[in-house]
Each structure stands twice: as structure tokens, then as C-alpha cells.
Amino acid sequence: MSITRPRLPTVQQPPQDPRPLRGRLVELARFGMVGGLSAVVDIGGCNLLVYAASVDQLVAKSLSTVAATFVAYFGNRLWTYRRTPRTAGVAREYLTFFALNGVGLLISLACVLFTRSVLDLNGPLAYNLSANVVGMGLGTAFRYWSYRRWVFVSGTSPGSADPGHRRSL
């Protein structure tokens, strides 16, 4: 009589990202350079609108972010993620990109509103720190994560069991 041991279920490991660390660092550096150019458009645009054209701070930040979004999309699509195949048509990819930038904008606007309404700080330094340092920093972290997850998706998505699987919104 032989004794059989019960089989334990096997644990599947999540797939590893096929790109090595160096490729990820190059991607992050390019993302940062495109983001730097977009930041110049955003920061310069909102300050020009607020302090040279007397536009409301929230409106100015919204308009400058829209302009920076165009720069960021084309810079990221044509340079940072140029080797990443499209997950959808150009229009859907851009609309997803734009929607995610809208979330980044809301993060930045929330920082401005908090500074104006809760802290009651309204000067140029308070505005720039809240909108262009804290808000932009938090928004940039969100955008980097969300672009890789939903816009410029590599061959496998984190947590997907099927290498051909791509996430969608």
C-alpha cells in the first residue's frame, strides 16, 4: 500500500516586464525631458495669463495645462514611447491621454484651491508653489503611472497572465 500526498496548488508568478532596467531608465529620462518641456509651456503659460493678462488663476492653469498636454502627447508618442505599439487608434489613444491629463489637472487645481481657500494664501509665490510645484509634482507621478498602464502599454501589462493582453480604460 502506497501513501500519496495531496497535491498543493501551484502559485503562478506574475509575468516579468520584458524590458531590462536600462530600458526603463531611458524611458523615464525621456519622459522627464518631455515633461520638462511641457512644464515650461505650463508654468510659463499660466504665469503669463495670470500676471500679464489678468486671467483667473484656475482658468489660466486649465488653459496652460491644455497647451502643455499637446506638447506632452506628441513628445511622448514620437520619442519616449515611439517603439511601443498603439493599443488603439490614434484618436482613442489621444482621448485617453487627454482624459488622464484632465485628472492630473484636477490634482493641480485641488492644490491651488486648497492654498487659496483653506490656507488663504493668494500671492504669486503661493500660487506657483501650489500649482507648479506640489500640484504638478503629484500630477506628474499620476501621469507617469497612468500612461504606462492605459496609453503607452508595453507587450504585457502588470498583473496580466496573458502576454498578449492589454489593459483598456
- Spell out the per-residue pLDDT of the chain, length 169, in tens: 667 766 666 655 555 555 577 778 888 899 899 999 999 999 999 999 999 999 999 999 999 999 999 999 999 999 988 888 877 788 888 899 999 999 999 999 999 999 999 999 999 999 999 999 999 999 989 988 998 888 888 654 443 333 344 444 4
pTM exceeding 0.75: no
DSSP state for residue 84 in the 8-state scheme: S
Task: Give the start-to-end residue ranges of the domains of the chain.
Answer: 21-151
> Which residue matches cell numbers 497572465?
161
C-alpha cell, 155: 507587450
Q: How far apart are the first and last CA of the chain?
A: 56
CA 164 – CA 39 distance, rounded (Å): 34
